Structure 1
Amino acid sequence: MKEYKVYPYRWVVLFCTLPILAMTNVFWLTFAPITSQAIKFYNVSPIYIAFLSMIYMIVYIVAALPVSYLIDKKGFKISMLIGALLTAVFGMLRGIFADNYIVVSLCQTAIALGQPFLVNSITKIAANWFPLYERATASGIATMAGYIGMIAAMLLSPRLYLSLGLPKLLMQYGYASVFCAIIFIIFSKEKPEILVDETNNIKEEFTFSKTKSLLSNNNYIRLMVCMFVLMGIFNAVMTWIEEMLRPKGISSVQAGTIGGILIIVGLVGAVILPMVSDRIKKRKPLLVWPILFAVIPFAVLTFSKSYAVILICCSAFGFFIMGIGPIAFQYGAEIAYPIPEGTSFGILMLMGQISGIIFIFLMDYLGSLAGGNMVYSLLFFTVLIFLTFLYARKFEESPLILTEAKDNFDDDVIIKLRQKLCDGGLRLLESGLVSGTWGNLSLRINNDYMLITPSGIPYKSLKPEDMVIVNINDLSYEGKLKPSGETGLHAKIYKTRREINAVIHTHSQSACTVAAARLQVPPLLDDMAQIIGPSIRVADYAIPGTKKLITNTIKALKGRNGVLLANHGAVCIGRSLNEAFTACEILEKSCKTLIETKLLEKGVPLSKFESYIMHQYFLKKYSKKSLTK
């Protein structure tokens, strides 16, 4: 058995990288809040000043994959050393030759080349030194350093320009970069002597075939698309922040303050959201919902001219968009595993740089059409962020997080659930709700896993160990026995109905008859109204085991605890296995009653109001004392 150890020195390694990570972003946004002053100083057009920020994105596109190769091959320390030296040396030269735009732009290009060596190493540091449950937090802290650099540029550049002038401003930044590089060189260390956990066992080596394999990972592709949009918008907005706000009557100092506060609040988000993600052991919710929450403030920002309102909206936008950054990078590393962290991070950053360039030119073009007003660009970005939220809802949970959740199963609980499900299979057969190997039943273990009967084995032959543990999110399972063919339907029910803990699929006689006739069952009996709901709908026909069947069933099951499957059978659900069985029995009884009342040509159903009240009473009061046990 391999030994693993978590070292306190991991925090020293992490924190010694923060100053140089901050400094590279200071250089990136040096000119963003003083664009109009830089235009006059160098006597050039606005796009030339924007180029001094945009060059970071251009260089990143070219350097990202080769740098990722170096990080994965040689480690983060050598890579960050190269980045630190490029930043320090050319940061000083930029200050020395501050009067010459051409030299400044060349130095800016060299500094930009150092950035991927620095930022692409973040997830590598987290992977080398931190256990899985701390990695999003570590990535968040490292990303926070970059945000601090952006804050410094936004707040200091306008004020230092007014007090020192542009040449001395650039010189001060050069001195700071040398100090930051020295801190990293003194305290950094590549990896601990003993691995921190089993995920460090993978041999990390970059190859283009591995990079290509990511393109077959649907979840990673979704993440690439989302980061393309969100990072691109962020990069473009930060580049044009003064020009974007100037038509609203905002001064360069105010624009710098807004940009700084945006990043300060974003920094808070970059710490809080990853910590929440690690605490609840979930990535998806903290990736998806913040995107939606960013839409409203961005929409208000588009049209508002109030300094206070703009400040509040930018702060909210920064909190949510910047807050998901470290989670997205860590999530990317986890869904790409065992592909090295530097590779997955580099590709995501590459997406943001490409889109950043596109969106910067787009903002310049749309602004020229509106006489310098950026309202068209901001409106377009608002719509784009909302569409990104809709697309991000397709994310699946991180497999490494789910595996860790499975490792935390209580063995005694699983043994009891296996026995309960095995006994449930016999009860299903003996009650006449199924015959042979037809039908299936399952129990929820937690929000990510369920236990389900295997496919093709008679209920009388089932043993507790035959029950199959299935991942609700991706339907993966372990063991030789295959889960039921309707596993996807069970999983979808658990995902959409969080209160449900048991699902049973039956083929009882009366239920099948009514399902074949495709007749909706009205609330003829009060026990049906109580336990199942105001009616028993019939899901449209679809071939068993297909996605269409799942979609049709979920739709018909809304607000109900039972549903008929056209020309097939029935599905009943409950907060316990006992409640689900009761629903099956009541559904069969209700279908039989419908058939008999049709023969009698009589049958008076309860009113919708009466059946609704009875169902709600059952859910909230009566059932808590009986069927849910």
Structure 2
Amino acid sequence: MDVKDPGTVVAEQAEDNNSLPGDDNNSLHGSDKNSLPGSKENLNSSSDGSEKKDLEKDSGEYKVYPMRWLMLALFVLYSTSNAFQWTQLVIITSILEKYYNISTLTVSWTSMIYMVLYIPLIFPAAWLLDKKGLRLGLLIGSFGTCLGSWIKVFSTASDMFWLTFLGQTIVAGSQIFVLGVPAQLAATWFPADQMSTATSIGVFGNQLGVALGFVIPAMVVRDQNLEENYHQIGSDLFYMFMVVAVKTSLIFLAVVFVFKDTPPTPPTRAQESRAESDESYIKSIKNLVSNKGYVLLLITYGMNVGVFYAISTLLNSLITRHFDYEGVTEDAGRIGLVIVISGMAGSMVCGIILDKTHKYKETTLAVYVLSFVGMILYAFTFRFGTIWVVYVTAALLGFFMTGYLPIGFEFAAEITYPESEGTSSGLLNASAQVFGIFCTMLGEWLFRITDDRIANCILAGVLLVGSLMTAIITPDYRRQAAILATTTDKYKEKEEA
């Protein structure tokens, strides 16, 4: 008898209500479909239409639910609303400098505050997500994003930048319930053959927010050359902040009334085993930091994403240095959009590849090396003096560098199983914030005192070192091994029966 791929989940549709395994207590073990009709317990449990599982996928032992896509969609909306505000101010740096009478570095801190706060806050946040569940984390995060957005609405006077920064700080603090969630949500709700794709979609929300943050502010907040027209900048900022505040309020309400913590039954044996364990959070951290492969990935992930953060934060300054024409700020925003949109495509392509091949290390290394190549090309294209060339190299860079994000999450989940995906991905993001602060401040300093090619080449050097370190990571795929062992045992038992 052929043993099926452990990642495959076969969809079955019940023929009538009598065959619906609606009892959560026995749904994990009701693998024999023929034994379901006529069961009094199943007749009673299927009476609630909202709990019908006629659209469930069934591997014979574990089930998944259509509502998983709704949970993922809600997270994507929340993630988008938070990430949008990361780039919404730095992309109009030149406009804010004159309106608020502040320095470039001050504006850059509206982006770097995301990185600074993440580092100390990720540890309590990861504990909360691991022990208290996804719902509480998303409730706190979406509320903080909403609150910070409303504070910024009242900060559009030219002497109120401090209030803008306060609102930005609250939103930035809420990011701790965004970056580490995709892998955990995917493992909680999705079957093995959809986890990488679900993680990619979850990361897609963050990328979409960054992309919109690059392009929309540059379109809404118009530059003014005459000081007597500076008040129009304040009006444009008020409009932008108000729209964002309203949308984050609606998202918060949706999370309150719709988002669920877990499905009625776990989707995989790996997830069921984790739910049965009661390992302490401190022990989990110790296990992670004693895993040599994970420590290497922790460093290399931070390098790659840190360079991306630096590029994103300094994009406006770099573009306006080399190009001087009306609408250059809008072009800077569109180039940022191109970087992230191409990265979304990269994320989805890589997620599909991982689900089909499970070659986590090979895919991670290939994407890392190509990110280095893209960075070298990006560093030298500004000297051509042609903006469309920058668009092309930015798209190439974004496809691989941004596409790396979900790969790192899934690679970490594989080599650290059975540790929580929220904890492993949270630490990866903490590393990214550390490297992001370092790379951004180094890049900003080098841009001021020397040629920007030197700064970009140094950032490319960081990616080269990261590629070499990735090559020596041992591909210990523990999660796949657990799924394979469980699936093989199950089919052996059926053959013996």
The TM-score range, normalised by the shorter chain, is: 0.7 to 0.9
Match of 1:281 in 2: 358
Find 1:333's aligned residue among 410, 413, 423.
413
Q: How much does 1:304 deviate? A: 1.5
In the alignment, is residue 261 of structure 1 matched against residue 331 of structure 2? no
8 Å Cα contact 2:270/2:483 also seen in 1: no
Q: Which runs of 5+ in 1 are unaligned?
A: 413-629
Which residue is equivalent to 1:563?
none
- Matched residue type, 2:259: S
Q: Find the structure with the greater CA-based Rg.
A: 1
Q: Counting helix residues as a fraction of each chain, which structure ranks higher?
A: 2
Structure 2 counterparts to residues 177-326 of structure 1, below 5 A: 177-200=248-271, 201-202=273-274, 203=277, 206-249=280-323, 251-305=328-382, 306-326=386-406
Gaps of 5+ in 2: 1-27, 30-60, 223-231, 492-497
Cα separation, partners in 2 of 1:118 and 1:411, compared to 1, 3 Å? closer
8 Å contact kept, 2:148–2:169: no
Q: Does 2:490 correspond to 1:401? A: no
1:119 aligned counterpart, secondary structure? coil
3-state SS, counterpart of residue 158 of structure 1:
helix
Supply the distance in 2 between the matched residues of 1:235 and 1:364 (Cα, whole angstroms). 12
Of 413, 434, 437 in structure 2, the residue corresponding to residue 357 of structure 1 is 437
Is contact 1:148–1:264 with CA below 8 Å preserved after alignment? yes
User: For the residues of structure 2 that align with 1:264 and 1:257, how far apart are their CA atoms?
Assistant: 10
- Is 1:384 the equivalent of 2:444? no
Report if the CA contact (8 A) 1:232-1:359 is conserved: yes
User: Is 1:74 the counterpart of 2:132 in the alignment?
Assistant: yes
1:141-169 deviation line (CA, Å, top 9, x unaligned): 01001111111111101001028522322
Once the two structures are superposed, residues 35-59 of structure 1 have per-residue CA deviations (whole angstroms, 9 ceiling, x without a partner) of 1101111101111000011101111
Alpha-carbon deviation of 1:411? 12
Structure 2 residue corresponding to 1:131, chosen from 180, 185, 191:
191
> CA shift at 1:231, angstroms?
0.9
Note the C-alpha offset of 1:324.
Answer: 1.9
Q: Deviations over 1:222-260 (max 9, x none)?
A: 111111100110111111110122222162111100000
Structure 1 CA distance for aligned equivalents of residues 469 and 201 of structure 2: 28
Q: Show the 5 A alignment for 1:92-103.
A: 92-99=150-157, 100-103=160-163
Instruction: Indicate the larger mover: 198-207 or 238-247.
Output: 198-207
- Following superposition, the deviation at residue 404 of structure 1 comes to 4.4
**2:124 matches 1:88:** no
CA contact (8 A) 2:381 2:393 kept: no
| Root mean square deviation of aligned Cα | 2.0
AA of the residue aligned to 2:432: G
Mapped pair 1:108 → 2:179: no
Which of 70, 78, 82 is the equivalent residue of 1:24? 82
- CA offsets, 1:275-326, max 9 Å, x none? 1111112211211101111222211211222311211111111111111211
Contact kept, 8 Å, 1:301 with 1:310, in 2: the verdict is yes
Per-residue deviation at 1:205? 5.2
Corresponding letter in the other structure for 2:269: E
Matches of 1:411 and 1:334, distance apart in 2:
22
Are the equivalent residues in 1 in contact too, given 2:443–2:455 (CA < 8 A)?
Answer: yes
1:175 counterpart = 2:246: yes
Q: Specify the code of the residue in structure 2 equivalent to 1:232.
A: G
Runs of 4+ off more than 3 Å: 402-412
Secondary structure in 1 matching 2:64:
coil
1:117 offset after TM fit, Å? 1.7
The reply to whether residue 147 of structure 1 matches residue 207 of structure 2 is yes
Aligned residue in 2 for 1:54:
112
Alpha-carbon distance in structure 2 between the residues aligned to 1:126 and 1:299 = 34
AA in 1 matched with 2:118: Y
TM-score, L = length of structure 1: 0.63
Whether the aligned pair in 2 keeps the contact of 1:95 and 1:170 (CA below 8 Å) is yes
1:133 Cα deviation from its structure 2 partner: 2.3
Instruction: Give the percent of matched residue pairs that are identical in Structure 1 and Structure 2.
Output: 25
Please say if residues 59 and 112 of structure 1, whose CA atoms lie closer than 8 Å, have aligned partners that are also in contact.
yes
Residue type matched to 1:181 in 2?
F
TM-score, normalisation: structure 2: 0.79
Higher relative contact order (CA 8 A, sep 6+): 2
Structure-2 change in CA distance of 1:206 and 1:114 (3 Å): farther
Deviations 1:533-558 (A, max 9, x none): xxxxxxxxxxxxxxxxxxxxxxxxxx
Within 1, Cα distance between the matches of 2:485 and 2:62?
20
